[in-house]
Amino acid sequence: MRYRLKEGLYHCIAGRNVIFLDLSRNRYFALPSTSTVTFRQLVARNGETVAGAEAALSSLIDAGYLLEAADSDLSFKVLEIEAPAGDAYSRNEVPHRLWPLLVAVYSELRTSLRIRLFPLHSVFARSAISRRVIGRDEHERKTEVDLWVSAFERAALILGRSNRCLTRSLAMFSVLRARGVTANLVIGVRSEPFSAHAWVQYEGTVLNDTFGQINNYSPILVLR
């Protein structure tokens, strides 16, 4: 027998715990410690069952989080994300421009409203829409990224930073993707005590946070 996670359920190892994100219900939860070893064995075997799995993972099975899989392709996917090597805070700031700042503020306010009104998975899907831009060289892409890093940094001075990491990151991710910049939005978690965090990174550089801060979190979901 082979198992898979239900659609929209993501997991990662954070410290000694297995943490789940149920995107359809917008909630996190941890696996009981008595089930952790068995679940990690299941992941290592790409969903292929191990002795005692049904009993040890009954809480996941009964809740509909762990399902029987007929095909190995529907089992456990490995989360792939380039480990960041630094952050954008060490870059020189670009000259202040009013229009990008207004766009950044508007994008954050719009994203905040969408998070309140719509399911998170639909907000994520809309934010990931990309418009392909042809003919940009490396210097032009870097200039574009620096422009929006500066704009969202200034927007944070207006809108604040506290408890806004997801809104701010989704807004920046959406703006960059709409301009053809293949940035990633990363959601990470940590345990003991539990905490969740979101940030944007591009080619190994964290754009809207410090490397030291995000290094405390294990990625659980990546939007590309």
Degrees to nearest 5, angle at CA 188 with 153 and 115:
65
Cα–Cα nearest to 168, from 130, 220, 127, 203: 127
Structure tokens at 61: 């099975």
- What is the per-residue pLDDT for 161? 85
| pLDDT-flagged residues of the chain (< 50) | none
- What is the per-residue pLDDT for 90? 59
**CA 140, 210, 176, 151 torsion-angle sign:** negative
- Residue 125, SS3? helix
- What is the per-residue pLDDT for 1? 82
191 Rama sector, left if φ>0, alpha if ψ -120 to 50, beta otherwise:
beta
